[in-house]
Amino acid sequence: MNGNPTLSTFSMEKTEKPTNQDLSVVFHPASTVARYEYVITKDGVSGSPITITGAVDAPIYLLESGEYQITVNTYDATGALMEVKKSGTYVIDKEKPRINVGERSLVMEQGSTLKPLEGIVVTDNHDGNMIDQVTTNYDSIDFETLGIKTLTYTVTDQAGNTATESITINVVESTSNQLQLTQVSIIAVLLIVIFVIMQYRHTMELEKRIAKYALEPLVDDSKSIFDKLLDRYFILVQKVSHILEKSVFIKRFATRYEKYAGTITNRYKKGIYFVASKAIIAILFLLIAVFAKTLQYQVITLYEAFIPLVFGFMMPDILFIYQYKRYRSRIENDLLQAIIIMNNAFKSGRSITQAIHLVTTELTGPISEEFKKMELELSFGLSIDVVFHRFSDRVQLEEVSYLTASLSILNRTGGNIIKVFSSIEESLFNKKKLKLEMASLTGSSRMIMYALIIVPLLFIAFVSIINPTYFVPLFTSVFGIILIVIMLILYIAYIYIVRKVMRVRM
């Protein structure tokens, strides 16, 4: 199309709709044009001008995606500007639409149906939301037969770019019968529990009726229901521990719990008992999860079963650590009183064995139990050094290490034990006094630290109660999961740094 020779024209003024093809726009200058220059503007950004001498046609190639506009300035033989010619808009779109199908593999029960477009997001850089233009092969898929099926999504934008995404659907046998069987089993267990409780109540009523005709024992050895349940639980722990002991790996793993044996509870004398207890609690959490899924008429998946198992296995560690720290804290607080009693015993002319026995009778709690162990070890023939070293290894306290070292030196070199214990007593007293003063001075800072740690969790809880779907996008997108991981790392690092800053070593 040459057009009128007295006018400058473009071979193509604009594109009516986006195209995915390369464009070649030819500029036809008027015969009176001596030279001209054209500038290509792409997505609002202008390029460098290109000069053409003479009234010759110039092909202008548009090869990349974007919105283009061509501006041409024509000049006559004297160099004067004749006209400014602007084209329309040329839209080149070579980018395919984006189809986000979420999970790429699904599991369906035989004969069930699904909504193929539910949760699907389709966007295009020019056409925007294209969910209404998506086509699928859903109607041609047979969900009555078992096996792997492929559901394909296809969409084409105005420029002719076609995008395709597929998901696999595993059609499995219906689990409704399994659910019904599980529900019946749960109901049967609940009925048995109710029957046992009713029988127990009936037995207790009969016991009350005949109690007035029976003689009361001098010593009541009867146990409460809670104590009986604890006894049954401990028997179960022992049986499970006997099974776990057959594994070398589990026995090696149980050694890390040996420090808890005989400290936080008198029932568990070996570390394997703690591992057995963790395993039982993990199975209990799994049964609760299975029960909850059954009430929803669903079968628990392997992934859903893994979470309660891990959580149930790891959760008792929090209780063990808390009880062990509480145990050590009580020993640390009562150690000064034990030193004072022993020092007073030495001043009255008593021996170390008599001083240890005096502590067991005067004090209660963990410190008394530890000194009873020491007294028992002395009765078995162990030396003072060995007994106090074993005591130091059990409690892992710096003060006990000082006491053990002092007694070892006294036992080897001799010396005035009264002066040594008086020095230890004064040192422990000053240290305890300093700790109380430090706790008083840093109390407000610690409260602020705890508040700053708890506030984010409270904020998340309150927002979730007000709007339960507010945080859902974080868990349904890759970017959201990345943000959650980053936030958790920063939160844990913050807690670690703040605790390090607030910790004062004596």
Q: What is the pLDDT of residues 28-64, one digit of tens each?
A: 888 888 889 999 998 888 888 888 888 888 898 888 8
Helix (H/G/I), strand (E/B), else coil: 258: helix
Residue 67's nearest CA partner among 94, 90, 39, 96 is 90
Measure CA 52 to chain center: 66
Residues of the chain with pLDDT under 50: 1-3
- Put residue 88 in one of left, alpha, beta given phi > 0 → left and psi -120 to 50 → alpha: beta
Residues 61, 50 contacting (CB under 8 angstroms):
no
Q: What is the pLDDT of residue 314?
A: 86
Between the alpha carbon of residue 479 and those of residues 10, 68, 118, 467, 476, the distances in Å are 46, 33, 21, 21, 9
Measure CA 34 to chain center: 74
Residue 427's nearest CA partner among 405, 454, 394, 449 is 405
d(CA 182, CA 188): 10
Domain 9-92: homologous superfamily in CATH: Immunoglobulins (2.60.40.10)
Burial of 474 (0-12, 13-18, 19+ CB in 10 A): middle
Asked if CATH classification 1.10.3470 holds for the domain at 322-440, the reply, yes or no, is no
Q: What is the pLDDT of residue 289?
A: 80
Helix (H/G/I), strand (E/B), else coil: 5: coil
Q: What is the CA radius of gyration of the chain?
A: 41
Domain with CATH 1.20.81 in the chain: 322-440
Domain with CATH 2.60.40.10 in the chain: 9-92, 98-174
d(CA 148, CA 107): 9
Between the alpha carbon of residue 486 and those of residues 55, 302, 343, 369, 460, the distances in Å are 63, 27, 56, 47, 16
Residues 407, 385 contacting (CB under 8 angstroms):
yes
Cβ neighbours of residue 59 closer than 8 Å, sequence gap 6 or more: 24, 25, 26
Tokens representing residue 401 in the block: 């290490």
Burial of 344 (0-12, 13-18, 19+ CB in 10 A): middle
* Topology (CATH level 3) of domain 98-174: Immunoglobulin-like (2.60.40)
Q: What is the pLDDT of residue 132?
A: 84
Tokens representing residue 167 in the block: 């998901």
Residues 271, 261 contacting (CB under 8 angstroms):
yes
Helix (H/G/I), strand (E/B), else coil: 150: strand
d(CA 143, CA 35): 70
Strands 35-42 and 23-28 come out as unpaired
Q: What is the pLDDT of residue 1?
A: 40
Strands 121-124 and 105-109 come out as unpaired
Helix (H/G/I), strand (E/B), else coil: 136: strand
Compute how many other C-beta atoms are within 10 angstroms of the C-beta atom of residue 345. 20
DSSP one-letter code for 44: T
